[in-house]
């Protein structure tokens, strides 16, 4: 089967998510009609009709009711929201791994992650990743063992993020498998029902919730970076570099993480609490779901970038714990990071390193590095 990959030009702004994503979906339909702009690998951006004909495709001619069916829906909210959700799932499970690396380098305790604690929703990750021969066990009784709010509350903060993602997945799955046209035709019952399923309130509210829940992964990650960089809290060199007066180490990287977390706080203001009457007051309540979806995706991107900085900081901190070694799965992660980013012995341009770490998280390579161990641990748990 040949796929032409002809894509309509669709603006990202301009929907209030009430009577569907009318403006964006109208642009989507325009391309199918041979109007406006389309993109294909062969032509790039060009006149839609020419692009279609160049691929042997005929522009569609709409029949009565079909135009409304094509634009009266929540496809833009749901599609952007689904990307945000997929990326949120990936970064959430990798956040557990990064947190385990940080706890190792800070000589933190894992006692708080016992499965008997309330709201313990980190299935094996923090406990099993720190299972044997850890810095934690080696230094349990030193005076600088760090049992701070950040370290002991990771389970609760990461846990609710995972539960939020699961809730939003359920909402979006229903939305993606629902008819949003109006009226809905129930042929087997011989009736039509005019309703409001084209309203974007469900995905809008869910995506606002997703942004708020996932943001906390970056919020606590930034606090972990602070602890790693602060010698009074970590027993490590200031900003994770030797010759601190000459080198600034991770100081500016931490500033970047703080800036992203602060920006996320503004983005987490719910879009769906706003409503403006449109269409001569026939759409007197709107969802603002398009903005909810776009900013949820932006929040997730910022979370990925903050976790990338923490990943680099934790691996750099481990350099100062030599000859101590961490657990086999976490050692695999350290090796993975070192395959793309070398340790810091003095200052250098850091942005390429952050981008490289971000790519590892985007491609879920951090998760893939530990997955064989996690599957083994889970199998052992089931057999007990």
Confidence label for 117 from pLDDT (cuts 50, 70 and 90): low
pLDDT at residue 126 above 70?
Answer: no
Q: Are 359 and 91 in contact (CB under 8 A)?
A: no
Q: What is the mean pLDDT of residues 141-156?
A: 57
- Is residue 1 a part of any domain in this protein? no
C-beta atoms surrounding 99 within 10 Å = 30
Q: How many residues are present in the chain?
A: 384
Quote the tokens at residue 182.
Answer: 């109006």
Of 19, 49, 71, the position where a domain reaches its end is: 71
At residue 319, the pLDDT reads: 94
- Mean of all residue pLDDT scores within the chain: 87
Instruction: Average the pLDDT over 78-85 and give the result.
Output: 97
Residues 6+ apart with CB under 8 A from 74: 17, 20, 21, 175, 180, 198, 199, 200, 203, 289
Question: What pLDDT does 382 receive?
Answer: 77
Domain assignment present for residue 300? The answer is yes
Please check whether residues 67 and 82 belong to one and the same domain.
no
Same domain, 293 and 211: yes
- The yes-or-no verdict on residue 102 having pLDDT over 80 is yes
pLDDT score, position 139: 45
67 and 79 assigned to the same domain: no
What CA–CA distance (Å, rounded) separates 94 from 300? 13
CATH number at residue 371: 1.20.200.10
Is the whole model's pTM more than 0.85, yes or no? yes
Domain final position from 71, 93, 125: 71
Specify the range with the lowest mean pLDDT, choosing from 76-90, 109-123, 328-342. 109-123
67/123 same-domain check: no
Q: Report percent pLDDT > 70 for the chain.
A: 87
| Same domain assignment for residues 288 and 329 | yes
State whether 283 and 224 are in the same domain: yes
3-class SS at 1?
coil
Of 27, 52, 71, the domain-final residue = 71
Q: Which domain holds residue 39?
A: 7-71
Overall average pLDDT of the 298-305 stretch = 98
**Per-residue model confidence (pLDDT) at position 234:** 86
């Amino acid at each position: 089967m040949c796929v032409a990959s002809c894509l309509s030009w669709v603006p990202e702004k301009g929907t209030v998510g009430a009577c569907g994503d009318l403006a964006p979906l109208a642009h989507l339909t325009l391309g199918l009609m041979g109007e406006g702009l389309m993109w294909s690998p062969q032509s790039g951006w060009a006149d839609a009709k020419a692009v279609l004909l160049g691929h042997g495709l005929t522009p569609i001619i709409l029949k009565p009711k079909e135009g409304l069916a094509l634009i009266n829906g929540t496809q833009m909210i749901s599609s952007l929201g689904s990307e945000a959700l997929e990326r949120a799932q990936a970064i959430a499970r990798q956040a557990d791994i990064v947190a385990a690396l940080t706890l190792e380098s800070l000589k933190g305790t894992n006692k708080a992650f016992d499965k008997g604690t309330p709201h313990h929703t980190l299935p094996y990750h923090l406990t099993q990743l720190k299972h044997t021969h850890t810095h934690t066990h080696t230094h349990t009784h030193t005076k600088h063992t760090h049992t701070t709010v950040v370290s002991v509350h990771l389970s609760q903060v990461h846990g609710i993020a995972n539960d939020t993602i699961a809730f939003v997945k359920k909402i979006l799955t229903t939305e993606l498998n629902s008819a949003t046209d109006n009226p809905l035709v129930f042929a087997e019952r011989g009736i039509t029902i005019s309703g409001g399923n084209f309203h974007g309130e469900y995905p809008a509210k869910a995506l606002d919730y997703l942004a708020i829940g996932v943001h906390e992964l970056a919020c606590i990650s930034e606090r972990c970076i602070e602890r790693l960089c602060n010698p009074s809290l970590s027993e490590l060199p200031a900003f994770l570099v030797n010759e601190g007066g000459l080198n600034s180490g991770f100081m500016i990287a931490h500033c970047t993480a703080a800036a992203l977390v602060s920006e996320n706080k503004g983005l987490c203001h719910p879009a769906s609490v706003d409503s403006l009457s449109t269409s001569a007051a026939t759409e007197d309540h709107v969802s603002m779901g398009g903005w909810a979806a776009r900013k949820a995706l932006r929040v997730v991107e910022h979370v990925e970038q903050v976790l990338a900085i923490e990943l680099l900081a934790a691996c750099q901190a481990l350099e100062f714990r030599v000859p101590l070694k961490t657990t086999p799965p976490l050692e695999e992660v350290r090796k993975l990071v070192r395959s793309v980013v070398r340790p810091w012995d003095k200052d250098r341009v850091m942005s390429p390193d952050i981008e490289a770490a971000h790519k590892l998280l985007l491609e879920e390579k951090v998760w893939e590095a530990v997955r064989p161990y996690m599957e083994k641990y889970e199998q052992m748990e089931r057999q007990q």
